[in-house]
Amino acid sequence: MTISAQRPYRGVFPVAPTIFDASGNLDLDGQRRCIDFMIDAGSHGICILANFSEQFVLTDAERETVMHAVLEHVAGRIPVIVTTTHFSSAVCAARSREAEAAGAAMVMIMPPYHGATFRVGEPAIYEFYRVVSDAIGIPIMIQDAPVAGTPLSVDLLARMAKELGNVRYFKIEVPMAANKLRGLIEKGGSAIEGPWDGEEAITLMADLDAGATGAMTGGGYPDGIRQIIDPFFAGRRDEAVQAYARWLPLINYENRQCGLQACKVLMREGGVIKSDGVRHPLQPLHPATRAGLIEIARTLDPVVLRWGR
C-alpha cells in the first residue's frame, strides 16, 4: 500500500492541539511550532479543530484564526483536515466552504447533535450530509464517535458513500470498531475511499486487520504510530504487532488517563511549546498523572521529547 499526500489519503493523520499561552490566549507561534514538530515526526497529514483540539472552547473568530494560521504555515507540505462540525446544516456547509477555500484537503464532520437529547433521525442525518456534500468539492470524513450519541448504522454510512458525491472517508471510533469497519467496507465497496481508525489508536491493530487505511490519533507521537502502520502496510504484520505492543502502554495511558491533554504535556516537556494549558473549565492533569505519562513516554524515546531541546 502506497502512502501518499494525494487521494486516497492514507497513513497517520493525528489531531493537532490548539495551543494557548499561560493566560489562555491563542499562541499562534506555539501553534506553528506544534505543526512543524508533527510534520517532522512523520505525520502524513494533520487534522485541526477537532474535539482533541478543544474546538468546543473556541469562538468562531478563533476557529478561523487557527485554521488560516495552520493552513498558511503548512503551505501544502502535507494534507490538512479541518473539522467543521455544527448542528446546523447551513452553518456546517458554510464552515466547510471556508475551509476548502483556505486550502483544506478534507473536512471532518460529526452528525448533528446538541447536548444530551437534541438529535435527528437517519433521514435528517442523510440530508445534513447531502447539504454539505453539495456545497463543497473536497471529501468529507464522517466522524462516527460516541461523543455525538448518534447511532450511525453501517447501512446508512454505506448508502451515503454511494449516493453523496463527497462522503468518502469514515473515522470509526465506536465500540467494536473493527467489526463496523469490516461491515462498512463490505457494504460500501469502492465508495469507501478511506475507512479509518480513531480513538488515539487504542484499537489500531484490530482496525488495521479489518481494513483500516488511515489512523487519526493524538498528536504527541506520530513517529510511534508510524512504527506500527508502516510495517503493516509493507506486509510485515509481525513487526507491526510487536511495535503495537511496545507503544500500547502509552496509547492506553493517553486514552484512559489523560485524554486531550496528553499531547500538550508531551510537547511542553520536549520544548515544542511553552504552555500545555487547557481552557477552563478543563483542568490541568494531576501532577502524578502527568509524571506517569512522561515516565512511560521516556521508555519509548519519542521525537516529541527531544524535538525542541
- Answer whether 50's CB lies under 8 Å from 80's CB: no
Supply angle C-alpha 133, 137, 140, rounded to 5: 50
pLDDT < 70: residue spans in the chain: 1-4
| Residue 95 zone, left/alpha/beta (φ > 0; ψ -120 to 50; rest) | alpha
State residue 5's pLDDT score: 72
The pTM is what?
Answer: 0.97
| Residue 11 zone, left/alpha/beta (φ > 0; ψ -120 to 50; rest) | left
State residue 1's pLDDT score: 40
Q: What letter represents residue 98's amino acid?
A: E
| Residue 171 among the catalytic residues | yes
Describe the crossing of helices 237-253 and 222-233 by its angle, rounded to 10 degrees. Answer: 160
- Answer whether 17's CB lies under 8 Å from 53's CB: yes
| Residue 146 zone, left/alpha/beta (φ > 0; ψ -120 to 50; rest) | alpha
Distance CA 81, CA 245 (A): 29
State residue 152's pLDDT score: 97
Phi, psi of 137 (to 5 degrees): -120, 15
Among 162, 171, 180, 274, the one annotated catalytic? 171
Q: Under 8 Å CB-to-CB from 117, ≥6 apart: which residues?
A: none
State residue 3's pLDDT score: 55
State residue 275's pLDDT score: 98
Residue among 22, 40, 24, 16 at smallest CA distance from 307? 40
State residue 116's pLDDT score: 80
